[in-house]
Amino acid sequence: METVKEYFGSLVFDDRVMKSMLPADVYRSLRKTIDEEKKLAPGVADAVAAAMRDWAVAHGATHFTHWFQPLTGVTAEKHDSFISPSPDGGVIMEFSGKELIKGEPDASSFPSGGLRATFEARGYTAWDPTSYAFIKGKTLCIPTAFCSYGGHALDKKTPLLRSMEALNRQALRILRLFGNDTAKAVRSSVGPEQEYFLVDKALYDQRYDLRFTGRTLFGAKPPKGQQMDDHYFGVIKPRVEAYMQELNEELWKLGILAKTEHNEVAPAQHELAPIYTTTNAATDQNQLTMEIMQKVAARHGLVCLLHEKPFAGVNGSGKHNNWSIATDAGQNLLSPGETPYENAQFLLFLCAVLKAVDDYQDLLRISVATAGNDHRLGANEAPPAVVSVFLGDELNAILDAIENDTPYEGVEKQQMKLGVHVLPRFNRDTTDRNRTSPFAFTGNKFEFRMLGSSNSIACANIMLNSAVAESLKIYADRLEQAEDFETTLHEMIRKTIRDHKRIIFNGNGYDDAWIKEATEQRGLLNYRTTADCMPHLLDQKNADMLLSHGVFTEPELRSRCEIMLENYCKTILIEGATMVTMARGQILPAVERYTADVASRAMVKKTLDASLPCAYETGIVAKLSALTDAIAAGTDALEDVLRGAEETGDYFAQSAAIRDEVLTAMETLRASCDEAETLTAKEYWPFPTYADLLFSVQ
């Protein structure tokens, strides 16, 4: 049996394979393209294509595809075989540099936000050499960017790569000012922690809401949920453990550094965390991870739910985006070192992040805005919709000392003494962690906790990279013109702290008092829904910043706003239509059938003995009859507001109507149906309950 070390990355055309299969000059040239963002030298593509083909065919591949990330939120691929006819009637296996570099999928059916007419079909995919090709099934998958015939980005990879280049340019300017002339590149790195639910597929198949929308639209709370906190970090059940084991093997073969697995807080909820890597590769790998999670689940008779809030009343699922920046030599620019108070370079990069988060808190909120995540943000398992930064005691004390020009006394390291001689003693961290903070410093990186489980991490990192690049640009512009570098640097750090300390909050983000303080006293933004925040993508300050760094063009930016609002509207309209279908076709008939049977039993009792009491039956019939009327009325009302929303003009107006009317009607209908579930005998209820779904996987 192969060991993990032997099969890790076996399905990836990674650096080990390239070094062994490519001519030395081709390999060196390709590495320059990858490491230093140099243009691809002529002839390199043909040599790489030939090596890719030979390697892929040796691993059983018969097809290749340009694997890309359109604005649907999932990945896309069109497969072509390697075979070409040979003169003797057989076939040969061919794959050229031209086929590697460029593909031409039909672009007419992907969301474009008005960037192209639907009859304009031509689109292009372009090889991204910074992300390794891999084999999935029998197909060689080549990570690519996706653009329209007119050159507009129609994907999430292209703006992400642009944002990484912007951050690289500005960070190198800062490093040069600190005397670092050896760094060739600065890159952001990410490790996205992925939360998910596992439910039994046989039960999943019986629920229209899960199948059509990914979440339960109806469901009364079971007697036991997560009240006992006994699922978190609990013993992993055998069926789940078998799933996790196979998932790890599949991910490791693809070179994905799956590291941590455990039970999460809610029943049936779990988490997978990788070791973090370059943002572009991490984004590709996270999209692949979500796909593999669902495929492996199917092989175990399970369904992996990636919706942000698949069950009401228990924790939803997020994706914590651990973000940092480092040089090509491996120097982490957010590492405080042993004496952070004296580490001016670290303090400047830290201030750049603080300034970026404060100046562009709206863009960070927009980057995680989806219909699913709106259910999660602000609940007790997720950060609030208000963006703030947690720094911890030590960094907070350092910034206070700098702002007030007072001596920094330092934080003495304390040893943990557990009162038992056989237990080891170790130094306690100088700062506790804060799980309620949307944007928390965790030693040498920031953990952006607002992303939803199904989100592509590209969006959040595009905005984060761009905003930090803008802060660094402002700093570099000033420092490069400074007559006295040290004085200007100190003044700039102090000014940043004074101007942006409102964004720092180390307390309980779940506390209602914080939300009031944040909005009323500090002036921070609180966009509760996608409909509230998405239009602000086009605010002048946001557009100016993103355009100035070349991350988006103006048409691309407008298209993103329209596409995200369109997705929000369509998602909720589908949910509303599903509720109408389930209420009319399943719930009402079931409740009526049970009500009629209870009433019939009461009549039988009275027939046998007129003196027999029927208070129970009479009470149930009265309650269910009233609920039946409420469900019928709620269904009609929801159908009316759905029709009204669909007839509303543009997506800006439609999203507001959905937020204000459709969601309210959905909540009203759900309340009646969930109450009816608690009064209806289980054998009459038309689909599996929360108790069935959350506790069925053993």
| Per-residue pLDDT reduced to its tens digit, 158-177 | 999 999 999 999 999 999 99
668 pLDDT above the threshold of 90: yes
CA distance 464 to 262: 28
Specify the DSSP element, H or E, that contains 60: none
In order of 77, 109, 312, the CA distances from 106 in angstroms are 11, 7, 39
Which tens digits make up the pLDDT trace of 567-610? 999 999 999 999 999 999 999 999 999 999 999 988 887 777 77
As a whole number, mean pLDDT of residues 120-146 equals 93
CB atoms within 10 A of CB 410: 14
518: left (phi over 0), alpha (psi -120 to 50) or beta: alpha
Q: Does 471 have pLDDT greater than 90?
A: yes
Q: Cα–chain-centroid distance for residue 408?
A: 38
The model's confidence at residue 410, banded by pLDDT at 50, 70 and 90, is: low
- DSSP state letter for 587: I
pLDDT reported for residue 150:
86
- Note the pLDDT of residue 212: 97
Q: How far is CA 7 from CA 143, 450, 693, in A?
A: 22, 34, 35
Whether residue 127 is predicted with pLDDT greater than 60 in this model: the reply is yes
Question: Mean of the pLDDT values across residues 117-137?
Answer: 88
Reported pTM:
0.94
Type of residue found at 100: L
Identify the bridge partners of residue 448 per DSSP, sorted by sequence position: 321, 439
Question: What pLDDT sits at residue 426?
Answer: 56
Whether 694 contacts 225, CB under 8 Å? yes
Assess contact for 531 and 565: CB atoms under 8 A. Answer: yes
Sign of the torsion formed by the C-alpha atoms of 230, 214, 377 and 497 = positive
Query: In the block, which residue shows the tokens 């491996």?
Result: 330
Cα–Cα separations (whole angstroms), residue 578 to 139, 218, 561, 586:
36, 10, 26, 11
Instruction: Return the closest-CA partner of residue 69 out of 114, 120, 125, 116.
Output: 125
Burial letters for 430-443: b for 16+ Cβ neighbours within 10 Å, e otherwise? bbeebbbbbbbbbb
DSSP class per residue in 218-230:
--PPPS-SSTT--
Beta bridge partners of 585: none
Q: Compute the average pLDDT of residues 562-568.
A: 95
Residue 510, pLDDT score: 86
Please, where are the H alpha helices in 501-614?
A: 512-516, 530-533, 540-548, 554-582, 588-608
Q: What is the pLDDT of residues 168-218, one digit of tens each?
A: 999 999 999 999 999 999 999 999 999 999 999 999 999 999 999 999 999
| Cβ neighbours of 67 (radius 10 Å) | 27
Instruction: Find all residues with CB under 8 Å of 632, minimum gap 6, and list them.
Output: 588
Asked whether residue 696 carries a pLDDT value surpassing 80, the answer given is: yes
pLDDT at 418: 62
Report the pLDDT value the prediction gives residue 317, as an integer from 0 to 100.
95
pLDDT digits 0-9 by tens, 66-115: 999 999 989 999 999 998 876 776 667 789 999 999 998 877 788 888 77
The whole-angstrom separation of Cα 677 and Cα 689 is: 9
Q: What are 326's strand-pairing partners?
A: 187, 332
Which domains are present in the chain? Answer: 4-155 (3.10.20.70), 163-215+230-414+424-552 (3.30.590.10), 568-694 (1.20.120.1560)
Averaged pLDDT for residues 52-75: 95
The whole-number pLDDT of residue 427 equals 63
pLDDT score, position 412: 64
CB 369 within 8 A of CB 378: no
Contact criterion met (CB below 8 Å) for 554 and 563: no
Residue pair 71/160 in contact by the 8 Å Cβ criterion: no
Taking the C-alpha atoms of residue 662 and residue 530, their distance in angstroms, rounded to an integer, is: 14
CA distance 116 to 555: 10
What letter would DSSP give residue 378?
A: T
Residues 321-349: tens digit of each pLDDT: 999 999 999 999 999 888 887 889 999 99
The rounded distance, in Å, linking the Cα atoms of 666 and 637 is: 9
Report CA torsion sign: 480, 481, 485, 490. Answer: negative
Which residues have CB under 8 Å from 290's CB, separation 6+?
Answer: 194, 306, 454
Whole-angstrom Cα distance, residue 409 to residue 396?
Answer: 12
Residue (of 69, 334, 305, 73) closest to 194 by Cα position: 305
Q: Predicted confidence band at 613 (pLDDT cuts at 50, 70, 90)?
A: confident
Q: State the pLDDT confidence band at 379, using cuts at 50, 70 and 90.
A: low
What is the distance between the alpha carbons of residues 519 and 440, in angstroms, rounded to a whole number?
19
How far is residue 611 from each of residues 372, 391, 596, 607, measured CA to CA in Å? 54, 73, 21, 10
Using alpha carbons, list the distances in angstroms from residue 291 to 202, 381, 386, 545, 616: 20, 25, 31, 34, 50
Cα–Cα dist 144/103, whole Å: 9
Mean pLDDT computed over 660-678? 98
At residue 431, the pLDDT reads 64
Q: Highest mean pLDDT range out of 199-203, 435-439, 610-614?
A: 199-203
